[in-house]
Amino acid sequence: MSFKFAFTDAKLWKNIVDALSGLVDEVVFIADENSLHARAMDPSHVAMVDFELPKSAFSEYKCGGEVKLGINLEDMSRIMRRAGGGDELVLSLDPEKNKLNVTFKGTSMRTFHIGLLDLSHEETPVPSIKFNTEIKMTADALKEALKDAEVVSDHVTVEASPKELEISAAGDTGGVEVKLDKSSDALLELNAIENSSAMYALSYLMDMMKAAAASDTVTVQFSTGMPIKLEFNIIGGGRLTYWLAPRIEAE
């Protein structure tokens, strides 16, 4: 089976790889006639990422049937750091050598070869959760609020009412509260059926926020004591969606 994908700007793929590699080390990308997608859980099974990029997001997309690509994301990330500004990117398969060719087209043509991994792949189901709160906000605002929380703690509490969103943290040396109400330019939509509150590990959320490089906005969904869902819409109708289990405080 063969395929060839191309991006006008290599930076898009670099941002996607960075966003995925924050959570998982290896992933199986599945390509078919309509899209490139992947879904994986982190090693501790606390978090999950779901990625999809439709063929319309590529400048060229040729796929002659379903293809599964086991990729070491750290290796791919190192290659993508070599992308120059304005480089075009072409991904193509060498089935005889079981390698993925990564070609940058700019002032010169440079091709890297990355070995494909033989990874077992079982489709992980998407969590079926009815959330009480849905918020659409600028990705930068959420990232900055989480950075504020990192100053004092390794976990963060997310609270929402029909009127405002509050992100807070408390540690041994102090605390912080970040509030955004409906008048805030950073809070684009706020729909809360009831007051909700839950605590999450900051290290995971900060890894997920790497997706902000590929998206200006994020949709946040959560309920009291339930997982949080972050969805980033990326160029061409693609998306990066994350789920993170809540942190349960010991009594």
Domains of the chain (ranges, CATH numbers): 3-115 (3.10.150.10), 133-244 (3.70.10.10)
What are the phi and psi torsion angles at 22 (to 5°)?
A: -65, -25
pLDDT at 164: 95
Alpha helices in the chain (DSSP H): 10-21, 73-80, 139-150, 202-208
Report in angstroms the alpha-carbon separations of 96 from 1, 5, 86, 115, 215.
10, 18, 31, 11, 36
pTM: 0.92
Nearest to 40 by CA among 99, 100, 125: 125
Of the listed ranges 2-6, 146-150, 237-241, the one predicted with least confidence? 2-6
What mean pLDDT is predicted for residues 67-94?
A: 94
What mean pLDDT is predicted for residues 46-51?
A: 95
User: In which element (H, E) is residue 134 found?
Assistant: strand 133-138
Beta-carbon neighbour count of residue 76 at 10 Å? 24
pLDDT at 1: 59
Q: How far apart are CA 178 and CA 143, in angstroms?
A: 12
What's the distance, CA 19 to chain centroid? 5
